[in-house]
Amino acid sequence: DLALILLSVSFEYSNAKCSLDIQKDLPPSDPVFVDKNHNLVKPEGKFIEWNIGDKFGAICSGKNNTFISTNQRAAIFECRHDGLHSSGQNIPKLECSKDIVAETLDTNKACIGGGTLKHVGFRTYSSNFTRYLEICYNMNEASVIYSHHIIPGKSINYRVQKALRPFFNVAGAPSKAQVSKSYLRKQQTKTFTKLLGSEQYMRYFNNSSFLSRGHLSPDADGVFKSWQLATYFYINVAPQWVTTNAGNWLAVEKLARRKAARINDDLEIYTGVSGIMSLPDSSGRKVKLYLKNGPTGKYIPTPMWYWKVLKYKDEGIAFLSMNNPFANQKLYICPDICQSYNWPNKGFENFRKGFTYCCKVSDLIKRLPEVPPEVLVTRVMKY
């Protein structure tokens, strides 16, 4: 017998549909919603909607995480004429006992640049894994090559907005690289004083100039809190100067979300890094910046470039951002087409914020070996 689920949140029922308002109806620790094919459920505008007869799963992913009301990890719901039902259960609210914890899954498939494909997502039913991010990662250097995700344009403007600053998860990264320790400011002081000499270190590093954990797939591209939390993995970050991270790179991320909302559809996003940034040591010799230099090797290189491709059907645009706030010379590896295709580029030439410009996707593929061929499109995307 199917028992009616009594949602403590407001439940909207109209036009032969069941729906939840993602800004009002979701509890602080909301579950992961998946469809019958184990794909993530994407909202339509500000609502998650189901037609009559639709079934979906709600899962409290993560160790020892369950619905507060039932102590069960998962529940299957059905949208019926009188609302949402779940088999044999009467759940007062869809709240998990703690925040969702995402996991990594090794596919053991090779990807470009000597990388291995890894997925970040959620363990749903028993052995099933639902992907949110696809990441190409070089285990030998503890370096991300690119990440791939979707911005759901229909709902991105209604995303859950919470001040998230969780711990970064080391899962999927090689232990020899000590990724968590290597990003610490005090560790950067030790590493780069040794590499560059104390005088040069002080010239480039201070409280407002250091290497931050630069997200490739950003948290703010996720609609649900669980999606946003899933971006906090070390395999999804690379060393990025804090001024470029919060400068033009943030502007590019905002442009991607704005474009997704404009097309009102799913926008594919590929984000990656290329090259290794160097700074001069005390004798003027250029030294490549690795966060971890040890007897077993060099790990976590600081990229010279961050790149991002926006792809929709056969249209695409590429953004390239120089990860060097100390640069004083514009470096174009492909022609800048921002203005030709109406992409806002105010401040993109500011070196401290990260010199940035737009490229044709085909040009980016020719110039950067780390860009995967599947990003190729036939037409240039206008803003």
Active site amino acids: 215
Distance CA 25, CA 47 (A): 9
Residue 126, classed as helix, strand or coil, is coil
Residue 140, classed as helix, strand or coil, is coil
Report in angstroms the alpha-carbon separations of 359 from 98, 152, 294, 364.
43, 23, 37, 7
Residue with tokens 């907005």: 161
The residues near 280 (Cβ < 8 Å, ≥ 6 apart) are 196, 200, 286, 287
104 burial via Cβ count (<10 Å: 0-12, 13-18, 19+): buried
Q: Is 157 annotated as a binding residue?
A: no
Q: Are 209 and 244 in contact (CB under 8 A)?
A: no
Half-sphere exposure of 166 (CA within 13 A, CB side): 20
Strands 74-80 and 297-301: what pairing?
A: unpaired
Q: Indicate the residue type of 219.
A: D
- Nearest Cα residue to 274 out of 297, 251, 236, 303: 303
- Nearest Cα residue to 50 out of 82, 17, 26: 17
Binding residue numbers for Mg(2+): 245
Q: Which residues are annotated as a binding site?
A: 245
